[in-house]
Amino acid sequence: MRDLSQLPDLKLALVQTTLAWHDAEANRARFATLLEQARGADLVILPEMFTTGFSMDSESLCEPEEGATYAWLREQAARLDAVVAGSVIIRAADGSHRNRLLWARPDGEMLYYDKRHLFRMAGEHKHYTPGEHQVLLEWKGWRIRPLVCYDLRFPVWSRDARDTDLLLYTANWPAARRQHWNRLLPARAIENLCYVAAVNRVGEDGKGHGYSGDSQVLDFQGEALLEAGTGDGVFHVSLSAQALAAYRERFPANLDADEFELKP
């Protein structure tokens, strides 16, 4: 059994900014500049659909599984010596379109998570295929579960009180529902006894929807360690494994969690 208290602190960089509508090249160029400010982080988190904005034009905007953004993320991860993660519109090998979070490691390995819950109020379920599996990734000894935007509303999909140290949400969450975002994130942290990091965008998209940002990092009691507000830039925070281990030791609510099984 691993000793969580022996893990090093995990340094995060959250990139909250505007996105150029349907312009992957412009967005990659902007993020490449911003990522200079992310140096020193272990994990760099970008928004959902960071190359296009939240678009239902999946057919014209999709990239192949190992396309331009895939290669770009690998380059950035190697340059920063950090994991760089964010979601992109991907045409999978089976021909389906996926809202796919790519997880680029500095050693060149690329892992991914496909968004499970598709936002039907925007018709996302008509243009994308949902993911089938939860994913638990490990970095620097930390166990991290990536999720995308609308997934936040479904606590069963986030639930894993025994193995997850950090829940990571990447999003295009509109300002009209910012209250939901700011209330649900602390709930996920408290109920899972883990850290939560959530990255949103700011500005206005091509459909006229505004985004208020509110990127944040919360501890295992739902207390804010970082709040980006409406700022545009790169925000840093460090997570303590020792503090997490100590809290779980004195308040092991996970031992009383209900057993359940997820169906495909």
Active-site annotation, residues: 48, 115, 149
d(CA 51, CA 28): 7
Query: What CA dihedral angle connects 235, 240, 241 and 242, to 10 degrees?
Result: 180
d(CA 21, CA 35): 20
Q: CA separation (Å) from 67 to 24, 89, 92, 201?
A: 12, 11, 11, 23
Q: How long, in residues, is the chain?
A: 264
Contacts of 183 (CB under 8 A, 6+ apart): none
Q: Give the number of other CB atoms < 10 A from CB of residue 111.
A: 16
Contact (CB, 8 A) for 47 and 53: no
Helices 68-80 and 24-34 meet at what angle, rounded to 10?
A: 0
Nearest to 185 by CA among 135, 219, 236: 219
